[in-house]
Amino acid sequence: MTLVADPRAARDESGGGRAASVAERPAFGPQITDAGVLFRLWAPKCDAVQLELAGRAELLPMTAESGGWHRALVADAGPGTRYRFVLPDGLRVPDPASRYQPEDVHGPSEVTEPGAFAWTDSGWAGRPWTEAVIYELHVGAFTREGTFRAAAERLDHLAALGVTAIELMPIADFPGARNWGYDGTLLYAPDSAYGRPEDLKALVDAAHTRGLMVFLDVVYNHFGPDGNYLPVYAPIFTDKHKTPWGAAINYDDQGSDAVREFVLQNAEYWIREFHLDGLRLDAVHAIKDASRPHLLDALSARARAAAPHRHVHLILENEENEARRLERGPDGAPRAFTAQWNDDMHHVLHTAATGEQAGYYIEYAGDREKLGRSIAEGFAFQGEMMTYRGEPRGEPSGHLPPSAFVSFLQNHDQIGNRAIGDRITATTPRDAVRAVASIYLLAPQIPMLFMGEEWAAAQPFPFFCDFGPELANAVREGRRAEFARFPEFQDPAARDRIPDPTQPETFLSAKLDWSALERAPHREWLDWYRAILRVRRDKVVPLLDERSSGGSYELTGQGGLHAEWQLRGGARLRLAAHLGSGAAGEPVPAEPGFEPIWLEGGGGPDRMPPWSVRWSLRRGG
């Protein structure tokens, strides 16, 4: 393998200097070659590193190379070999690019054979983005077993529901046996609590067989607090920037080129080796990078190039609402990122249904202009001051196609970041939930369900983790302190009722009860979701166009909202809704030439009662 003497030469889109080819970039993680296994570690803070192989008493010296790299080629190592790196002070550390950690984050890494899995999806090219109906799930809580293999056994249910993609919450190896996934420390290793890497591949393969895409939530804005050894031997963090988790990952300071490469190769790895159809990038507003190209721009190019003959979709979570990251080219294809989770859409629908005003909801509650703007144009805030944040938020987004936004009524954050992790159906009347759900499920934005939503699962989704005693206590107390400002939790006794994130019972309470599907009212909820997603598939999806722009909206009466979008071939999709619990009904809009495709909440021929929604369609031509 050819090495890059100066890592700065490896930046593809730098605009100057020699760009390194893929073959020249130093590869992170063990490489199986004809001569044995090549072990490599980027440890510029260490003059010498040794290699420890399981079952061998002696340590093997590694050769120091330019750029802070250390290497050792071991002829008799192979798949199944367990190893660790030994630093000059005797500290044993796992491979930061470990492919599998059978003994958790502090244990040895294991060499795996990337080409051993027998894929059956050779004809799979993915699906166009406009066909996406996403289902977010946590592997550990999705089934009683909590494994990749068990999740695969539920794919027929999702295909019958009308889902076309599953989005896995982060699976990178985390400390302990249970975690939401955002405390991952070994970014290349699927957590062993869920199974081996080949089990994840089996899940992806089975999904493709059923026409389902698979996206993975990846975290490049911070590392978890337990099990990240990188700072000991590499400049992984920088004090130039701060994030909610402390010092930022070093994407633009001294030594940042190798750090960037570590992340860029990780994005390529998931797409190439695991045949994933795309990535969801967590909290990119906390990725601090003043260099050019920005890490996100480099990542989008590398990720798409990893599978040039397949659809690759890249989704952002971005509190800044930067519309520029979602721009399209003349053909409608994304220039960089496919879509962004639209928290604004959630907030306007949630507050409309529940009336909640706590925290940031105060910015949306009762604000019908934001409701209309978010439904029609994407972002509710497009540069206006957001009092809760104390600064302007967002950029104009009405010129973007609606498919540049992923909309939802529930997701892991909006449930799990509540004090007890309660779902909206636990506290909100059915008519209100179905009214707002029918808006996001049929709107031209891309809908995303959270696991169990389709049958109004009774299980909460509280925050959970499995740290050692010191960290566990900090998390437990921090969780209770976070909610102390809420009126219902100002009493210490009330705060004590907040589930302890560190207890196994909290995790177990989140596991879905699949037997509920056969019982009322869950069966009726499932039938409702299946019916409305059939309408989306048959009536809406064929007319979606990535070259379109946002819709228009009008507010009427005391609770009325009309919105309209122009779709493919001149077709027009129209929404009329009356959201609220008032007694007065909204007039039914005159719609000559429009075909009603979904009526929610009933009503007579002249008036729309509270919590009623009417979708209609006029074909073009």
DSSP 353-419: HH---SGGGGGTTT-HHHHHHHHHHS-S-SS-EETTTTEE-----TTS-GGGEEE-S--HHHHHTSS
- What pLDDT, in 10s, does the model give residues 37-63? 999 999 999 999 999 999 999 999 999
Q: How many domains does the chain have?
A: 1
CA 202 to chain CA mean position, Å = 20
Flag whether pLDDT at 20 surpasses 90.
Answer: no
Pick the catalytic residue: 277, 282, 356, 586?
A: 282
Q: What is the pLDDT, as a whole number, of residue 12?
A: 45
CATH number for 573:
2.60.40.1180
Q: What is the pLDDT, as a whole number, of residue 483?
A: 83
- What pLDDT, in 10s, does the model give residues 543-594? 999 999 999 999 988 889 999 999 999 999 999 999 987 766 788 888 899 9
- Does residue 361 lie within any of the structural domains? no
Cα separation, 262 vs 265, whole angstroms: 5
Flag whether pLDDT at 119 surpasses 60.
Answer: yes
H/E stretch holding 316: strand 313-316
Q: Is 477 helix (H, G, I), strand (E, B) or coil?
A: helix
DSSP 225-242: SSS--HHHHS--EEEEEE
H/E stretch holding 207: helix 197-209
Q: Which residues contact 353 (CB under 8 A, 6 or more apart)?
A: 424, 428, 432, 433, 435, 436, 579
Domain that holds residue 557: 551-618
- What pLDDT, in 10s, does the model give residues 444-481? 999 999 999 999 999 999 999 999 999 999 999 888 88
Question: Residue 603 has what DSSP assignment?
Answer: -
Q: What is the pLDDT, as a whole number, of residue 367?
A: 94
Q: What is the pLDDT, as a whole number, of residue 550?
A: 96
Cα separation, 268 vs 218, whole angstroms: 12
- What pLDDT, in 10s, does the model give residues 341-392? 999 999 999 999 999 998 889 999 999 999 999 999 999 999 999 998 899 9
Q: What is the pLDDT, as a whole number, of residue 463?
A: 96
Cα separation, 367 vs 594, whole angstroms: 29
Specify whether 253 is catalytic. no
* 492: confidence class by pLDDT, cuts 50, 70, 90: confident
Q: What is the pLDDT, as a whole number, of residue 10?
A: 38
Q: Whole-prediction pTM value?
A: 0.95
* 175: confidence class by pLDDT, cuts 50, 70, 90: very high
Name the average pLDDT for the chain.
93
- Does residue 605 lie within any of the structural domains? yes
Q: What is the pLDDT, as a whole number, of residue 583?
A: 63
- What pLDDT, in 10s, does the model give residues 267-289? 999 999 999 999 999 999 999 99
* Cis preceding linkage at 521, omega within 30: yes
Flag whether pLDDT at 431 surpasses 60.
Answer: yes
- Does residue 606 lie within any of the structural domains? yes
Flag whether pLDDT at 486 surpasses 80.
Answer: no
Q: Is 284 helix (H, G, I), strand (E, B) or coil?
A: helix
Distances (CA, A) of 202 to 149, 274, 279: 7, 9, 18
What mean pLDDT is predicted for residues 282-302?
97
- Does residue 577 lie within any of the structural domains? yes
- Does residue 250 lie within any of the structural domains? no
Share of the chain above pLDDT 90, in %: 87
Q: Is 341 helix (H, G, I), strand (E, B) or coil?
A: strand
- Does residue 584 lie within any of the structural domains? yes
- Does residue 405 lie within any of the structural domains? no
Q: Is 266 helix (H, G, I), strand (E, B) or coil?
A: helix
Specify whether 606 is catalytic. no
Flag whether pLDDT at 487 surpasses 80.
Answer: no
DSSP 564-575: EEE-GGG-EEEE
* 26: confidence class by pLDDT, cuts 50, 70, 90: confident
- Name the token pair of 205: 């393969």
Q: Which residues contact 347 (CB under 8 A, 6 or more apart)?
A: 360, 361, 363, 364, 374, 380
Distances (CA, A) of 89 to 55, 85, 86, 97, 424: 21, 11, 8, 21, 52
* Cis preceding linkage at 293, omega within 30: yes
What mean pLDDT is predicted for residues 286-296?
97
Pick the catalytic residue: 205, 257, 289, 317?
A: 317
Q: What is the pLDDT, as a whole number, of residue 218?
A: 98
Flag whether pLDDT at 216 surpasses 80.
Answer: yes
- Does residue 557 lie within any of the structural domains? yes
